[in-house]
Structure 1
């Protein structure tokens, strides 16, 4: 699941507030780049040791010229521009995909208010309840079918239609219809449960459970928005960032640091040497961590529904959505506190607009109203 740290930095103006998050390992830049950094240092020291103990003086002189050439030419690679633009686009796509994930709460509220358990003064029956539950089940089913296609975690949890049946998201009869249509046309049919949901809504209107065409239109618009969001998720999964762009950025980064393997070597007895002969390339390592970590940001976020630390936990969302949907349309349907019975006592009174707060949480600082005097 996405690593959340907002609660650990409640006051950004305090000294050292953000230092504590630098020591986190899960989802950190250290976890992403440590393997590449170890491999890079091994290559760096291999070249350095070969220069010091294997090459003769003539060969060392040739290597020194090569080092100067690689150092000068490597700095001409426009890595910051290419990498910055690429990461910006990937982060933008990542956030847009998260915002496309539909939540069933609004639809559940509409369904709960629109479809009662019975019509008029008739006695209550199970028809309205079953309609509400099935509409929400179909919504979550369409959600899961979509995520099966774009998320490896969800695919592992529900690899086949039978697993959806075992989980209670699909009935055996619905599974047969779904498999039969898949045999005719193998395209993604995430919209099929939404079609079933609209048919139930039309039936509820014909039977008088829904009393207005305007209510039907409102519910259908919400279902259409859910379908649009699910279709958008599949579109993002199908149309990725152009492969050639990803290849260019990756080649630019690794070409830069391959050149730095030679061009950043700190060698002894160099003519006109301005840098000391240090045994550890401190600033080269920092640059490697910064730039490779920058690229790793894009590599992690390019698929927000994968298995990285910062990927969205879709299985948790599925469990949450089905529980919340059933809670709204079933357990809480037509249930609310008696507003007439709680109009007196310690309950907040409309005549008093001051809500008391504990002294421990009162902020003594209050916003000052600036008044402008007009002459």
Structure 2
């Protein structure tokens, strides 16, 4: 589930940023620490080798020339430009995937209010229309979300959970549905709407069209998710981004070493320069590594990372909401009595005494 931190920044203070930075789950620290630790160890191992007293002057000169040449040529790698485009592209795609996670509320409101009747058959029809929509979503998410696949590993598990009935699973398995199996329950829902229209449980064709519109919107979101999974980011793009960043970091292991130009006459400030060089290199490498890790984590929003979307929550919410709207909430309207605003709406301030200072 995406890590929520908004409550930590509800009030801005000079130190409020620490509440966000010091989090661990889903943080950049958790994503980077292993690879960054390996890089730091490698950097200082190379530093100790280069600065070792037993290294011959000729080899020291070779190291010095190599370091100077690599450091000058690092600018040839367009790292910032490539990372900027790649991360922006991945985040835009991530937002589109999240936008198309379908919630059933609009469809449930429509079905609950447009299909009238308290008879057992009518109530069952309302529930089944919404259940078929939920079943379509689960069938799709099983194919594109690892978490959902682990929860519903087989079609039998859908029967055990009540999302589908055994005879419905038999129809799905015997039919030639292929990868578009999730569209079959949508078709069942549409057919059931027409059955209710013929039974005069829906008042007019306009209401039928309104229900179909919500079903189509729900199905459209499922189709968009299917498209995003079927056509991922072209493989060459992340390959280039990942290789460029790792190549840059590998070159920095040597290119960002501090060298003493004249070992026989060391500078008094050599220690400070070494520290400054190492510190700035460590900071730069961490930021570049964190930047690419952001893209790696968001590349598949329906995966198993801390910040990936919790599809099982959506499934549970939709099923619970569908049953509630189709059965227990249908046709229930509060008794209409005169409100408390009286003649002057300005009298209704809406503040209790304890929070009146929030005005």
Q: How does 1:1-375 map to 2 (within 5 A)?
A: 1-12=1-12, 14-53=13-52, 54-117=54-117, 124-181=118-175, 184-268=176-260, 270=262, 276-278=273-275, 281-340=278-337, 343=338, 347-349=340-342, 351-353=344-346, 354-362=348-356
Q: Secondary structure at the match of 1:278?
A: helix
User: How far has the Cα of 1:131 moved from its partner?
Assistant: 0.5
Structure 1, residues 117-174: CA drift from partner, whole Å, max 9, x if none? 2xxxxxx520110000001100110111111111000000011110100000000110
Greater CA deviation, 320-329 or 299-308?
320-329
User: How far has the Cα of 1:364 moved from its partner?
Assistant: 6.7
Relative to structure 1, the CA distance from residue 168 to residue 350 in structure 2 (aligned partners, 3 Å threshold; closer, same or farther) is farther
Q: Contact 1:266–1:279 (CA<8 Å) still a contact in 2?
A: no
CA RMSD of aligned residues (A): 2.0
User: What CA distance in whole angstroms lies between the structure 1 residues aligned with 2:344 and 2:334?
Assistant: 21
Greater CA deviation, 241-250 or 273-282?
273-282
The runs of 5 or more residues in structure 1 that have no matched partner are: 118-123, 366-375
User: How far has the Cα of 1:16 moved from its partner?
Assistant: 2.1
Q: Contact 1:268–1:277 (CA<8 Å) still a contact in 2?
A: no
Q: Secondary structure at the match of 1:235?
A: helix
Structure 1, residues 297-351: CA drift from partner, whole Å, max 9, x if none? 11001100111110111111111111111111111111122113xx26xx44464
Q: Contact 1:198–1:220 (CA<8 Å) still a contact in 2?
A: yes
User: How far has the Cα of 1:44 moved from its partner?
Assistant: 1.0
User: How far has the Cα of 1:363 moved from its partner?
Assistant: 5.8
User: What is the count of residue pairs matched by the alignment?
Assistant: 352
User: What CA distance in whole angstroms lies between the structure 2 residues aligned with 1:196 and 1:250?
Assistant: 45
User: How far has the Cα of 1:259 moved from its partner?
Assistant: 1.3
User: How far has the Cα of 1:268 moved from its partner?
Assistant: 4.3
User: What CA distance in whole angstroms lies between the structure 2 residues aligned with 1:9 and 1:218?
Assistant: 41
The runs of 5 or more residues in structure 2 that have no matched partner are: none
Relative to structure 1, the CA distance from residue 350 to residue 335 in structure 2 (aligned partners, 3 Å threshold; closer, same or farther) is farther
Structure 1, residues 77-117: CA drift from partner, whole Å, max 9, x if none? 11111001100010000011111111111111111111122
Greater CA deviation, 81-90 or 248-257?
248-257
TM value normalised by structure 2? 0.93
Higher percent of residues as helix: 2
Relative to structure 1, the CA distance from residue 256 to residue 296 in structure 2 (aligned partners, 3 Å threshold; closer, same or farther) is same
Q: Secondary structure at the match of 1:303?
A: coil
Q: Secondary structure at the match of 2:319?
A: helix
Q: Contact 1:142–1:194 (CA<8 Å) still a contact in 2?
A: yes
Q: Contact 2:256–2:277 (CA<8 Å) still a contact in 1?
A: no
Q: Contact 1:111–1:219 (CA<8 Å) still a contact in 2?
A: yes
TM value normalised by structure 1? 0.89
User: How far has the Cα of 1:278 moved from its partner?
Assistant: 3.0
